[in-house]
Structure 1
Amino acid sequence: MNFTETLWSIFVVFVFLSYLVVLYQIVADLFRDHELSGGAKAVWFIGLVFLPVLVGVIYLVARGRSMALRQMARAQASAAETEDYVRQVAAPQSRTERIADAKRLLDDGAITPEEFERLKAEALS
């Protein structure tokens, strides 16, 4: 195999993998779209099975903008959920909770009474 054939093979594999990624994105968007009826989803899917390249291009032209908007909305919702989780986990404890945690550590023997008093003073300050 010469250099030109190798480059051509690499290009063909790249185009084919790109096509598969686009096809996956179309099918995923198709089934995630709550505004599209089941019959319309079936028609799009059957079209993708029998004429995948043509129907894929038509789908991207006809629904590409809304596809991008749905993807952005999912990303924003995911980011908001992550921020809420981080706020919930990293939220500062109240004074009472910090003293109760320190008391639990003292009762378990993990800290000394002096350390408990220091933690209690920090919580109250």
Structure 2
Amino acid sequence: MDYPLLNAFWTMCLIFLWVMWLFLLVRIIGDIFRSRDLNNWAKTGWLVLVILLPFVGVFVYVLARGRSMSEREVAQLEQQQKQLKTYIRETAATEGEGARHAESLAKLAELKAHGDLTEEEFQQAKAKVLA
């Protein structure tokens, strides 16, 4: 054992910091591409800075645009939540109408099977349900 415990701890800390920085770099590159308030030249400039001088570029980006980065993330999540709720409402409304039509047709078929409705009455009621 030629590797003391303190060196192992220090190595783990450095690996953790490197992974954290790498995660931040990926988030920043994603934010640069998604940002609508930057024109293409500004996006290119930020990407060049972040890729060519990674440590300095990440820290400068966080200092310059860190607050708006979180605001854009929150706005995007709110928009996704709103789209999800709209989709659920539309789907539930469509399935609800279909279920009511199916129930009505099942009741009509049952009445016809028991002889309570004639074929003509059944077809008229069915057309009214499906209309």
Aligning the two structures, in what range does the TM-score lie when normalised by the shorter sequence? 0.7 to 0.9
Q: CA RMSD in A?
A: 2.6
Return the alpha-carbon distance in structure 1 between the equivalents of residues 16 and 64 of structure 2: 25
Task: Quote the residue 2:17 is aligned against.
Answer: 15
Compared CA separation, residues 58 and 103, structure 1 to 2 (3 A): same
Which has the larger Rg? 2
Q: Which runs of 5+ in 2 are unaligned?
A: 112-131
Point out the more displaced range, 35-44 or 97-106.
97-106
Note the alpha carbon deviations across 1:69-114, whole angstroms, 9 max, x for none.
11111000011111112222223734xx4453136668xxxxx837
Q: Aligned pairs, how many?
A: 109
Return the alpha-carbon distance in structure 2 between the equivalents of residues 86 and 63 of structure 1: 35
Task: Quote the residue 2:118 is aligned against.
Answer: none
Return the alpha-carbon distance in structure 2 between the equivalents of residues 37 and 82 of structure 1: 29
Return the alpha-carbon distance in structure 2 between the equivalents of residues 42 and 7 of structure 1: 39
Q: Which runs of 5+ in 1 are unaligned?
A: 107-111, 115-125
Return the alpha-carbon distance in structure 2 between the equivalents of residues 21 and 28 of structure 1: 11
Task: Quote the residue 1:121 is aligned against.
Answer: none
Task: Quote the residue 2:33 is aligned against.
Answer: 31
* Correspondence list, 1:33-48, <5 A: 33-48=35-50
Q: Percent identity?
A: 25
Compared CA separation, residues 99 and 12, structure 1 to 2 (3 A): closer
Residue 30 of structure 1 aligns with an amino acid whose one-letter code is I
Note the alpha carbon deviations across 1:37-94, whole angstroms, 9 max, x for none.
1111111111111211112111111111111111111000011111112222223734
Residue 78 of structure 2 aligns with an amino acid whose one-letter code is Q
Of structures 1 and 2, the one scoring higher in RCO (CA 8 A, sep 6+) is: 1
* Correspondence list, 1:91-106, <5 A: 91=93, 93-94=96-97, 97-102=98-103
**SS in structure 2 at match of 1:93:** helix
Structure 1 position 113 matched with structure 2 position 116: no
Compared CA separation, residues 56 and 99, structure 1 to 2 (3 A): closer
Q: CA deviation at 1:3?
A: 1.5
